[in-house]
Each structure stands twice: as C-alpha cells, then as structure tokens.
C-alpha cells in the first residue's frame, strides 16, 4: 500500500516546524543569507461545465496547473550576484540565465526536513531596497523567480 494512503488511514501525531531554518543554493552554490523565502502557490485551474437538467451543481473539470513564482529576500551585500543575474535576463540572455535553485529546510536540530528544487529558474523581478536617511533599518532586496517545474524531496 502507498505510504501516503497508509498515513491518511491512521491518525498520526503532527509535528510543526519553525520556518526560519533554510538555505538557498543556486547551481549547488549555497547562499545562506536570505531572510525570507516565499514558496510558490500551487493552483489547479478548472473549467465549469454545466450539465443540462442538473441544477444542483456545476462540474469543475481540471484544465491545467499553475505552479506560481517563488521569491527570495535578503539584506543588500557587496555580492551583486542576484542583481547581475537579473540584468542578464533584462538583456535578453534568458537561455544562459536559467539555473537550478534549491531551497533546503531544516528543523531546530539542523536535521533536513524538505528540499525544494526548481528547474530552469530565472529572475523576473528585482526589487531594490528603500534607502532612507536617518533610519538604521536593513536594506533588503527582493528577487522573484519563474521556473519550469520543481521537485520536493
């Protein structure tokens, strides 16, 4: 029997994990300085089909899956890798800009929880920080990515 089906048939205790322990790797080079990672929204788009004589409901048939984008946020550093990567896309070098981005999550004892691997990812939006004189806040850059599929392990 499928392990997922077995788990659904039994009431198992749930563990809840903190969301701040993660590392981001781009083509297997780890960048651990991200303050936030927003994983994509997964949505199955449907089409309404009305059946003649059936007035109590409308059939919802799956059309396709929208895997959404993912976003990384971090404080500005001297490392301009992500801005240069975005500029590569802006200059039309999309095929050369595709990379594998991996988000590795850990529990509080640094035991791996899940690994999200995004294939052929590239940045589509770079948002620079707000620079304000007289404030001591961290300057944060935000990078949004599209991808061509992902795996979770």
Q: Look up the CATH number of the domain holding residue 95.
A: 2.30.110.20
With bands split at pLDDT 50, 70 and 90, how would you rate the model's confidence at 71? very high
With bands split at pLDDT 50, 70 and 90, how would you rate the model's confidence at 45? very high
| Structural domain of 130 | 29-49+57-152
The pairing of beta strand 112-127 with beta strand 70-75: unpaired
Number of domains within the chain: 1
**129 within domain boundaries:** yes
Distance of alpha carbon 79 from alpha carbon 76, whole angstroms: 8
Collapsing DSSP to helix, strand or coil, 7 comes out as helix
With bands split at pLDDT 50, 70 and 90, how would you rate the model's confidence at 109? confident
If you average pLDDT over residues 95-124, what whole number do you get? 93
* Nearest Cα to Cα of residue 123 among 83, 150, 91: 83
**93 within domain boundaries:** yes
Distance of alpha carbon 9 from alpha carbon 90, whole angstroms: 50
Q: Given this model, what pLDDT does residue 13 score?
A: 64
With bands split at pLDDT 50, 70 and 90, how would you rate the model's confidence at 27? very high
Residue 5, φ and ψ in degrees, nearest 5: -65, -40
| pTM greater than 0.75 (yes/no) | yes
**110 within domain boundaries:** yes
Q: Range with the lowest mean pLDDT among 22-26, 91-95, 134-138?
A: 134-138
If you average pLDDT over residues 128-143, what whole number do you get? 87
If you average pLDDT over residues 136-150, what whole number do you get? 91
Partners of 152 in beta bridges: 116
Partners of 116 in beta bridges: 103, 152
If you average pLDDT over residues 105-133, what whole number do you get? 91
**114 within domain boundaries:** yes
**17 within domain boundaries:** no
**117 within domain boundaries:** yes
Question: How far is C-alpha 87 from the geometric centre of its chain's CA atoms?
Answer: 21
Distance of alpha carbon 121 from alpha carbon 98, whole angstroms: 5
Distance of alpha carbon 37 from alpha carbon 61, whole angstroms: 32
Distances (CA, A) of 58 to 27, 64, 65: 45, 18, 20
Q: What are the DSSP E strand ranges found in 7-149?
A: 22-26, 29-31, 34-38, 43-49, 59-66, 70-75, 99-106, 112-127, 140-146
**99 within domain boundaries:** yes
Sign of the alpha-carbon torsion through 83, 86, 92, 98: positive
**109 within domain boundaries:** yes
């Amino acid at each position: 029997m499928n392990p997922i089906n077995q788990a659904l048939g039994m009431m198992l205790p749930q563990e809840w994990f903190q969301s701040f322990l993660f590392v981001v790797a781009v083509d297997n080079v780890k960048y651990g300085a991200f303050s936030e990672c927003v994983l994509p929204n997964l949505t199955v788009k449907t089409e309404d089909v009305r059946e003649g004589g059936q007035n109590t409901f409308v059939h919802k048939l799956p059309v396709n899956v929208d895997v959404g984008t993912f976003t990384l946020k971090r404080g500005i550093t001297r490392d301009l890798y992500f801005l240069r990567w975005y500029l590569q896309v802006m200059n039309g070098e999309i095929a050369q800009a595709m990379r594998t981005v991996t988000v590795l999550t850990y529990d509080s004892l640094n035991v791996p929880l899940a690994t999200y691997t995004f294939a052929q990812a590239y940045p589509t939006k770079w948002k620079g920080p707000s620079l304000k004189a007289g404030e001591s806040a961290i300057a944060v850059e935000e990078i949004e990515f599209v991808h061509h599929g992902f795996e979770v392990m």
